[in-house]
């Protein structure tokens, strides 16, 4: 039996592929935890500077949670708690990850699959892809962390449109409301995604990590008045790094910098 999740590590980029094309890459209960563990390990690997998430085949990035798990894991609130904890664990991992993440999307990106893509830093989609979170068709809701991620990305009106209508959006509409960053022809999806990943990986990894951490702090404390002294000083820490010294010297010397993540 094929592995449900594939990892291809080619530093400075790693690729995680949801590998259940016959099920439109639906996510089983166990896969939420497996993805979280895989991402945590990659984040600790300093040779990996960008992570691409995608789905096997051309039909779906992921059609969401595997409906076959619902009886065992989501048939009532007691069973549902463990399932929600697994989903929240993966989304929290993605939120806290220092390594930049990109979703490479072709086909259906629906339900939990859409929530997974929302939780990554960037989303590149092939024209013809479809997006939505039609939980109202099943009589369930999304959790607070999923709602927070969706709201941060597309705003209140668009988040409610996605949830209340239950509709699937085409790629152009998804880009218009900010759900995806870029839409490209299907035959260009891989090249465009990996070109972006290479560009990200070539830049200072500590800058990426601190920018992501600073963004999370601003979202958690938007007035900035509640920042701790350590949080307020976070951007200043970059001036003491080896990468900063390399960056400005390379600029003056008109050469490509060689960042080492220190």
Q: How do residues 80-109 score in pLDDT, each as one tens digit?
A: 788 888 889 999 999 999 999 999 999 999
pLDDT value for 72? 65
pLDDT value for 55? 98
For residue range 195-238, what is the model confidence (pLDDT) as tens digits? 999 999 999 999 999 999 999 999 999 999 999 999 899 988 88
**Domains of the chain as residue ranges with CATH:** 5-200 (3.90.226.10), 204-252 (no CATH)
DSSP code of 256? Answer: -
What would the two tokens of residue 171 be?
A: 């790629």
Report yes or no: 120 and 62 within 8 Å, Cβ to Cβ.
no
The pLDDT-based confidence of 140 (bands split at 50, 70, 90) is confident
Find all residues with CB under 8 Å of 188, minimum gap 6, and list them.
Answer: none
pLDDT value for 73? 67
Average pLDDT, the chain: 93
The pLDDT-based confidence of 77 (bands split at 50, 70, 90) is confident
Q: How far apart are CA 49 and CA 13, in angstroms?
A: 6
Residue 58 has pLDDT above 70, yes or no: yes
For residue range 13-45, what is the model confidence (pLDDT) as tens digits? 999 999 999 999 999 999 999 999 999 999 999
pLDDT value for 13? 98
Residue 61 has pLDDT above 90, yes or no: yes
Q: What global pTM score does this model have?
A: 0.94
pLDDT value for 82? 82
Q: Which of 117, 116, 119, 115 has its CA nearest to residue 141?
A: 115
Q: How far apart are CA 121 and CA 94, in angstroms?
A: 8
Q: How far apart are CA 199 and CA 206, in angstroms?
A: 15
Q: How far apart are CA 117 and CA 131, in angstroms?
A: 10
């Amino acid at each position: 039996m094929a592995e449900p999740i594939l990892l291809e590590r080619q530093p400075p980029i790693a690729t995680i592929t949801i590998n259940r094309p016959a099920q439109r890459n639906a996510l089983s209960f166990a896969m939420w935890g497996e993805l979280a563990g895989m991402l945590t390990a990659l984040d600790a690997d300093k040779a990996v500077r960008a992570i691409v998430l995608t789905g096997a085949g051309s039909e779906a990035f992921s059609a969401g949670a595997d409906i076959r798990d619902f009886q065992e894991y989501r048939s009532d609130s007691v069973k549902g708690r463990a399932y929600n904890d697994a989903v929240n664990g993966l989304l929290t991992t993605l939120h806290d990850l220092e390594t930049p993440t990109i979703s490479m999307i072709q086909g259906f990106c629906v339900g939990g699959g859409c929530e997974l893509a929302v939780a990554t830093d960037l989303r590149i989609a092939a024209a013809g892809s479809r997006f939505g979170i039609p939980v109202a068709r099943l009589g369930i809701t999304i959790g607070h962390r999923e709602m927070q991620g969706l709201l941060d990305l597309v705003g209140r009106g668009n988040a409610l449109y996605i949830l209340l209508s239950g509709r699937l959006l085409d790629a152009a509409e998804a880009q218009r409301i900010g759900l995806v960053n870029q839409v490209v022809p299907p035959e260009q999806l891989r090249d465009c995604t990996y070109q972006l990943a290479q560009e990200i990986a070539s830049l200072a990894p500590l800058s990426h990590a601190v920018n992501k951490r600073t963004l999370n702090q601003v979202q958690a404390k938007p007035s900035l008045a509640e920042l701790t002294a350590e949080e307020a000083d976070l951007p200043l820490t970059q001036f003491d790094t080896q990468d900063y010294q390399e960056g400005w010297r390379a600029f003056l010397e008109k050469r490509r910098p060689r960042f080492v993540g220190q």
